[in-house]
Amino acid sequence: MNGSVVANTGPIIALAIIGRLEALRSIFHEIAVPQAVHGEILEGGDAGPGVSAYLEASWISRRELRCPPDPLVESVLDKGEASVIQLAPEMGADRVLIDERKARKIARDVYGLKVVGSAGILVETKRLGLLESVKDDIVRMRDAGYRIHDDIVSAAMSAAGES
């Protein structure tokens, strides 16, 4: 993949709770989160799942938006997702990292952004030879309470050659 990515809250936490946050550095040269996402990650305090790994990841930059998100987008998505969609073109990011279906659809279909999700990051990590089993990591995400639709799991397993 390479290039830069603007990440949403869910994928950051999902990757952090299974110890795979560092995989983002292997795939992208720049990883950014808007301030709204940073706030969402810290919402539950420093003891929330994955928060310590996120805070230790000094290579994830926090960015202020130059312009507020489109109010129409904010009316259908949460502030973090709307901010990710706003920040990506502002900084010229190559991709957005979002798991939520509606936000992915709006980013792709309305804004023309390239979208990747947590499962796609695991597939790419395996392709780079840095991961043995996408399935094992998805199971660990699910065991930690992170929801990933069965269709996405099937597609990821197939893409990773694990189906």
pLDDT score recorded for residue 70: 93
User: Tokens 């998505």 identify what position?
Assistant: 77
Q: Quote the pLDDT of residue 11.
A: 97
Indicate if the pLDDT at residue 18 is higher than 90. yes
Beta strands in the chain (DSSP E): 4-7, 30-34, 60-63, 95-97, 115-116
- Confidence band for 98, pLDDT divided at 50, 70 and 90: very high
Q: How high is the pLDDT of residue 111?
A: 96
Q: What is the pLDDT of residue 116?
A: 97
**pLDDT for residue 92 is more than 90:** yes
Running DSSP on this structure, what letter comes out for residue 15?
A: H
Closest CA to 2 of 32, 31, 28: 28
Note whether 94 and 114 are within 8 A (CB): yes
Q: Which CATH architecture has domain 4-159?
A: 3-Layer(aba) Sandwich (3.40)
